[in-house]
Structure 1
Amino acid sequence: MKKVVTLSIFSVFLVSCASTKTTETTNVSKDESIQYIDLTSDDKKVLIEEYWVVEKRQDPQYPISAARKGLSGCVDLIVGIDKSGKAGGYKVKKSYPEGVFDKYAAAALNNWKWSAAGKNVDKAPVLTTIQLDFMVSGSKNKAKAEKQCGFSHM
C-alpha cells in the first residue's frame, strides 16, 4: 500500500514538472515576437511603397447575402506584412456595414503576396492599412456607403 501511495505522489510530481517545462517553452516563443515598423497612421501610409510592393492581389468574394440585399461597403484592415512577404495577421480597423464583409476581406488578404522594395533589403516587416471595397450597382445603401468608405465611384 505504501508503494502505491508513493508511486502516486511521484507520478503527480512528474506530471507537474512536465507541464512546467511546456509552459516555459511557450513563454520563450512569445518573447520572440516580430518587430513591425508601424505605417498605419495617415501620414505614413505612402511609405509602404518603400518597403513592400504588391506582387499578387486577390479581390475578395462578394457575399451572396449582401448582393441579395443590395449592400455595398468596405473593410479597412490593419495588416502585418512579414519577412516572407505574406500577411502575417490582420485586425479589422473599420467595416461598413459592420461584420458583413469582414471574413471575405480577410480570406482574400490571406492570398496576397508582397515583394520587398529596393530599399527594403532586410525585408523589414511592417504594419499598414488596406481598405477593400465591396460595391454593387443599384446599391440600397449607396449614400451611406460612400460616406463611410470614402468612395464615390459607385
Structure 2
Amino acid sequence: MKKAITLSIFSVFLVACASNDKVEVATDEPIQYMDLTSDDKKELIKEYWVVEKRQEPKYPIDAARKGLSGCVDLIVGINSDGRLGGYKVKKSYPEGVFDEHAAAALTHWKWVATEINSDKTPVLTSIQLDFMVSGSKNKTESENQCGYSHNLYL
C-alpha cells in the first residue's frame, strides 16, 4: 500500500514536471544609441540626460604610493532606464592604471532624462574621470595627456 501511494505521488510529480511548457527567452534587440561622442556633440548630453547620482572612483593604492596622477576617458552608454549600459575605454593615462576603478564607479551612476528627452532615448557619450594626487611624480605628463591642471584641485 505504501509503495502504491509513494509511486502515485512520484508519478504525479513527474507528470507535473513533464507538462511544464518550455519557456523560450527571446533575445533582446540591440539598443539603438544616439551617438553623442564626437567633439561637436559632447555638450548635447545635457539636453538628454542629467547625472542624478554620481560616485567618485576610488584611487588605486598602488598609484597613490607611486605618486601617479592620470585620467580615463570612456565612451559610455546610458540606457533608457538611466543606468550604465556599457562602456569602452577610449583613452587612459597612464594606460591601464585607473581603468578598472573608473569603470567600477560608473556602475553606480544614475542619470535622469530631461524634459526634452521624454522618450528616454539611450545615448552614447564620453566621460573623463580624473585621478590626481598631490606631489604627483607625473604631474606635467598627466596634465598634458588629460587636459587638466593640478592647480584647479588644490
CA distance in 2, matches of 1:148, 1:104: 19
The alignment status of 1:33 with 2:67, answered yes or no, reads no
Q: Equivalent residue for 1:108? A: 105
**Deviation at residue 153 of structure 1 after TM alignment:** 3.1
CA distance in 2, matches of 1:47, 1:106: 22
The alignment status of 1:86 with 2:79, answered yes or no, reads no
Give the alignment of 1:9-88 within 5 angstroms: 29=27, 32-88=29-85
Q: Equivalent residue for 2:3? A: none
SS in 1 for 2:27: helix
Number of equivalent positions: 128
**Deviation at residue 152 of structure 1 after TM alignment:** 1.1
Q: What fraction of aligned residue pairs are identical, expressed as a percent?
A: 73
* Gap regions ≥5 residues in structure 2: 1-23
RMSD: 1.2
Whose helix fraction is larger, Structure 1's or Structure 2's?
Answer: 1
The alignment status of 1:145 with 2:142, answered yes or no, reads yes
CA distance in 1, matches of 2:83, 2:27: 20
SS in 2 for 1:29: coil
Q: Equivalent residue for 1:6? A: none
Question: Does the CA-based 8 Å contact 2:47-2:114 persist in structure 1?
Answer: yes
Deviation per CA, 1:75-126: give whole Å up to 9, x if none. Answer: 0000000000001000000000000000000000000000001100000000
Question: Larger C-alpha radius of gyration, 1 or 2?
Answer: 2
**Deviation at residue 29 of structure 1 after TM alignment:** 2.1
CA distance in 2, matches of 1:84, 1:91: 19
CA distance in 2, matches of 1:98, 1:78: 16
**Deviation at residue 54 of structure 1 after TM alignment:** 0.2
TM-score (normalised: structure 2): 0.80
Q: Equivalent residue for 2:95? A: 98
Deviation per CA, 1:45-84: give whole Å up to 9, x if none. Answer: 0000110000000000000000000000000000000000
Dislocated runs of 4+, deviation >4 Å: none
**Deviation at residue 146 of structure 1 after TM alignment:** 0.2
TM-score (normalised: structure 1): 0.80
